[in-house]
Structure 1
Amino acid sequence: MTSPFPDSLDPAQPLPPPGCPAHRLYGPEAEADPMGLYEKLRAEHGAVAPVLVHGDLPAWLVLGHRENLDVARTPSRFSRDPRRWRDMQEGNVPPDHPLTPMTAWQPVCHFVDGAEHERLRGALTDSLERFDRRGVRRYVKRFADQLIDAFAEQGRTDLIASFAEPLPMLVMTQLVGAPESYGPRLVEAARDMIRGTATAVSSSEYVTLTLRELVARKRQVPGRDFTTWMLEHRTGLSDEEIVEHLRLVLIAAFETTANLIANTLRLILTDSRFRASLSGGHMTLPDALEQVLWDEPPLMTVLGRWATGDTEIGGARVKAGDMVLLGLGAGNLDPEIRPDLSAPVHGNRSHLAFSGGPHECPGQDIGRAVADTGIDTLLTRLPDLELAVHEGELHWTASLMSRHLVALPVRFTPRVATVTGSTPVPGEQSAAPSEAAPAAPAAPAGPPRVPPAARRSWWARLWGRR
């Protein structure tokens, strides 16, 4: 098999040798070392490379930083509407295709452009901006303390299963006004969808049905939460539009924030110079997060853009209807902008971790707040955290979109759980933080010590079963 685009590559770009298949962005090679694959593609093709996605469907992967921004900022040339995808129009993408949950068109802002995009995104950003950041941070700290209390007395834990993954979903289900019971399955379904597994479609359907129930509840009993604010927005969104935006916010926030927390904690625990700079005051935690967003962005690749007509990008001639993938991880390592990868990038937010242009991630500030506050709470509570295995024993799984640390085993001095840990997680009746953030709950004097088993909530039971 030759290049997937024998007629659309720039003549100046060498084609792969006859019989040599184009590189797949899925499978053993991509999962074992995605960054290595990106550099191999950069060496072979330059800033834009022909690749294959699931089902050996052809696509273009953008590797250059400048080229990524060019694609993201010009929706007139590279639309976000997946209905333009030629392979989908020709029937090459079956309903059970692993990418269907991420490419099937829905009435949501990241699948439209122009005036319709402005209408839908306006409702999304207006509602997100109603959250008081200090109120959000108080919720993050409260949930982080509860998670830490569940393992503080044990002296060891896996920070992925017990902290990095449950924390974002705890916070986001609270902010959208969902009851606590929604949490366990949403965590599993969100991870399944992002990985593009054989069950990704059914997981996507579960998420949609769950959120429809939530919207119906909020129509009957409004609250001070994101779902209610979307329902009340002046644009008059339909229930379907609200459900799809809730889905977008929950899934995107869960995956990206969990990966950001995991990647930052791994760097702190494995790089002594990095941790020394952090503890010595030479680097702040927000600086550390930005460094990780440069080196290991939560999403390595973003689906997708589709060419609105024949065009050229980075020396490659793209045909109308071609799928174009934003290579955020590859673009952040582009030697054109980072000739020395060892040089610090403190204070530099020109990375691609949140994409760019009109579809740039609208919830990035909340994601930063969850990661920053959560990690700060963890390091304050457990200052002697250390890796419980050799660094070389850490393992990752990778999908088309992201690289996920499987486990982060740590040990520390066992500590008695705090009062916060015995406070129940707020349920459906609790108000999400808004302009007037709720005060933190008062701690009763001298509460009885609660046994660890009695403090186990859904997140502890879920990960314990796993």
Structure 2
Amino acid sequence: MNAQPLNDPGPGAAGGCPFGHGEGPRRLFGPDAATDPVGVYERLRDEHGPVAPVLLEGDVAAWLVLGYRDNRRVLDNPRQFTRDARIWRDWREGHIEEMSPLIPMLGWRPDCVSQDGEPHRRLRGAVTDNLLAAAGRGIRRHATHFANKQIDAFAATGRADLVMDYAEYLPMLVLTRVLGLAEAEGRELAESSAQVLKGGEDAVLHDKRIMEILAELAERKRSEPGSDFTSGLIAHGAGLDEAEIVSHLRLVLIAGHTTTSNLLARVLQLVLTDSARLSGLISGELNITGVIEEVMWDSPPLAVLPGRFATSDLELGGHHIQEGDLLVLGLNAGNRDPEVRPDTGVSVQGNQSHLAFSSGAHECPGQNLGLGIIEVAVDVLLHRLPGLRLAVPAGELSSTASTWESRLDSLPVEFPV
């Protein structure tokens, strides 16, 4: 196995292609994918079945897994589908450019997401232990503080955009407290984190800036430890080295911010476009957990999860997958698979078998932290701003998708003051 870091791909031209079967891979980005990603997934399903050949940014070839059961097979079988990108054939053959916007999402790093087996267990244990400790130190208290602080900034105006004024920054402000960062760094980190998920030519530069800030944090916490995630990671018995510490800080920061902010915006969208849900939450007759479950089925915060790599030649979804091929997991498409969910209008409350948090050994370890932030954020907002309502017709709300996610563009609201 090549141990060379994935952000040092070596010489070679871009544009490797693993298919070689005459299929016509569809680009998983561009105008149609940005405005109607679900439509793209369904067309791919119709054309290719539960697994489809696609091209990612830079015309990088991949297999998009669309079927629910196929997603579970990939996620639950690390021996066949590893997260270790060092076996990615296109990278090993020099087809991935050094500044590819895919590198921040797919590249190998010394973190638990990039490894399987014993290295994964050692590193994930350190992350899980410290996430549990962070939750015990008052995630909901931090979320309440910052939710009120965000609302204070617009409460007297009678109007707000709940994406930019609330959902986009609230999770990051909580995470700065958890990691031991200064609150002032939250906005810069939120913007850089969003750019990493968005992709494009600046993704690598924003990722580098995040790493610089977190390296400075780790250095500071070695000499000035506190009761925060960073200090706990440094002191953990797993004995993480400097690169492992900074890589895990990055992992928690980016994954925690982007998924939680996106999910919070979608939950608020669902609540504010359905008067029955809104009144039920305000009166206490409806539990916010059920609303969150609906959103995780229909609009998971990561629509496409990067990525897995075939460890040998095999068949998946009727296609021949070659060793070293890249697979990306269609979490949104899998949740909508007509074979397991023939009627998307049927209630899914109480059904937690969605793919929103991934599955298997790499299932999101911080999901309870994110859900806690969202529950507090919705509760504080609805009780601070009685009479909250959409300021535009629901049909005017729009979203923009990148390769990995579909984000609500804005959520304009108004309320009496």
Q: TM-score, normalised on structure 2? A: 0.93
Matching residue within 26, 29, 35 for 2:32: 29
- Contact kept in structure 1, 2:135 and 2:369, CA below 8 Å: no
Over 2 Å off, 4+ runs: 4-8, 131-134, 271-283
The residue type equivalent to 1:146 in the other structure is K
Matches within 5 A, 1:303-342: 303-342=306-345
Residue of structure 2 in register with 1:259 after alignment: 262
Structure 1 portions without partners, runs of 5+ = 9-14, 415-466
Amino acid at match of 2:395: G
Equivalence for 1:158: 161
- Structure 1, 221-230 or 131-140: larger mean CA deviation: 131-140
Q: What do residues 106-148 of structure 1 show as CA deviations (whole Å, max 9, x unaligned)? A: 1000001111001110111011111245711011011101111
Aligned match of 1:271: 274
Query: 1:6 offset after TM fit, Å?
Result: 4.9
Unaligned runs of 5+ in 2: 1-16
Query: Which amino acid is the alignment partner of residue 330 of structure 2?
Result: G
Aligned AA (2:75):
A
State how far apart, in whole Å, the 2-side matches of 1:182 and 1:244 are. Answer: 18
SS class of match (1:51): strand
Q: Indicate how the Cα distance of structure 1 residues 6 and 123 shifts in structure 2: closer, same or farther if over 3 A, else same.
A: closer
**How far apart in 1 are the matches of 2:69 and 2:277?**
29
Further displaced range: 312-321 or 351-360? 312-321
Alignment of 1:137 with 2:140, yes or no, is yes
Alignment TM-score, normalising by the size of structure 1: 0.84
Describe the SS at the equivalent of 2:404.
coil
Deviation at 1:282, TM superposition (A): 5.0
Paired amino acid for 1:335: P
Please identify the structure whose Cα radius of gyration is greater. 1
State the distance in 2 between where 1:406 and 1:57 align.
Answer: 27
Instruction: Judge conservation of contact 1:22–1:52 (CA < 8 Å) in 2.
Output: yes
Of 66, 69, 75 in structure 1, the residue corresponding to residue 69 of structure 2 is: 66
Question: Which stretch of structure 1 is more off in the superposition, 381-390 or 326-335?
Answer: 381-390
CA 1:400–1:6 in 2, change beyond 3 Å: closer, same or farther? closer
Structure 1 191/6 Cα, relative in aligned 2: closer, same or farther at 3 Å? closer
Distance 1:159 1:132 in 2: 25
Kept in 1: contact 2:387–2:415 (CA 8 A): yes
Q: Specify the alignment match of 2:355 in structure 1.
A: 352
Q: Within 1, Cα distance between the matches of 2:365 and 2:19?
A: 38
Matched, 1:209 2:212: yes
Asked if the contact 2:301/2:405 (under 8 Å) is kept, the reply is yes
Task: Tell me how far apart the structure 1 counterparts of residues 307 and 129 of structure 2 sit (CA, whole Å).
Answer: 25
Query: Take 2:352 and 2:107, find their aligned partners in 1: how far apart are those partners?
Result: 31
The AA in structure 1 aligned to 2:118 is: A
Alpha carbons of structure 1 residues 217 and 202: separation in structure 2 relative to 1, 3 Å = same
CA distance in 1, matches of 2:376, 2:82: 36
Tell me the CA shift for residue 103 of structure 1: 2.0
Whether 1:181 and 2:187 are equivalent positions in the alignment is no
Aligned to 1:368: 371
Q: For the structure 1 residues 315 and 276, does the alpha-carbon distance in structure 2 shift closer, same or farther, using more than 3 Å as the test?
A: farther
Q: Percent identity?
A: 49
Alpha carbons of structure 1 residues 6 and 400: separation in structure 2 relative to 1, 3 Å: closer
Q: Distance in 2 between matches of 1:290 and 1:370?
A: 15
1:290 and 1:208 map into 2 onto residues whose CA distance is 33
Match of 2:34, as an amino acid? E
2:18 touches 2:322 (CA, 8 Å); kept in 1?
no
Deviation at 1:394, TM superposition (A): 1.7
Shift, 1:276, TM fit: 4.5
In structure 1, the partner of 2:394 is 391
**Counterpart Cα distance in 2 of 1:314 and 1:122:** 33
Q: CA deviation at 1:199?
A: 0.7
